[in-house]
Amino acid sequence: MRAEEYEARLRDAMLRGAVTELDELLSDDLIFTNQDGMRLSKSDDLAAHASGMLKIHTLDNCGAPEFRHLADATVVRIETEVTGSFDGQPFSGFFAYTRIWHREDERWKIIAGHCSPVTSGR
């Protein structure tokens, strides 16, 4: 399976809150920096989905993702309009995501990611 297909699986799992599938797609060594600059681990991310604290309603890509394929890694950058709720409070916005997929035991997993709000230049 190619990184493009893993990105589609990730999107679907996030929309469904599918913790088991997210667990398969995220590296145990994940480092994710969210839009507020907070560093999150894999367990932080999974707990937010499992508890229902984070619910994602829409993930609409704003254009095609950019992929940079390396030997055992792929870097993905994409801008996405996201709506959902966090701790019962609705949110929406445009965000730029950068993810690094790394091959682990013949499977691709996200080892690092970053999210930033897109505030201008759209």
pLDDT, tens only, 21-32:
999 999 999 999
Instruction: Give yes or no for residue 120 having a pLDDT over 80.
Output: no
User: What pLDDT is attached to residue 44?
Assistant: 96
User: What pLDDT is attached to residue 14?
Assistant: 96
Whether residue 122 is contained in a domain is answered as no
pLDDT digits (tens, 9 = 90+) for 38-85: 999 999 999 999 999 999 999 999 999 999 999 889 999 999 999 999
Whether residue 15 is contained in a domain is answered as yes
Residue written as token pair 């999107």: 11
Q: Which domain holds residue 100?
A: 3-117
pLDDT digits (tens, 9 = 90+) for 85-107: 999 999 999 999 999 999 988 88
Indicate the number of domains in the chain. Answer: 1
Could you give the CA distance from residue 43 to residue 95 in angstroms, rounded to a whole number? 22
Whether residue 75 is contained in a domain is answered as yes
Which is it for strands 39-40 and 89-104: parallel, antiparallel or unpaired? unpaired
Whether residue 38 is contained in a domain is answered as yes
Whether residue 49 is contained in a domain is answered as yes
pTM: predicted TM-score of the whole model, two decimal places? 0.91
Indicate the average pLDDT of the chain.
Answer: 93
Burial of 33 (0-12, 13-18, 19+ CB in 10 A): middle
Give the domain CATH number at 58.
3.10.450.50
CB 46 within 8 A of CB 23: yes
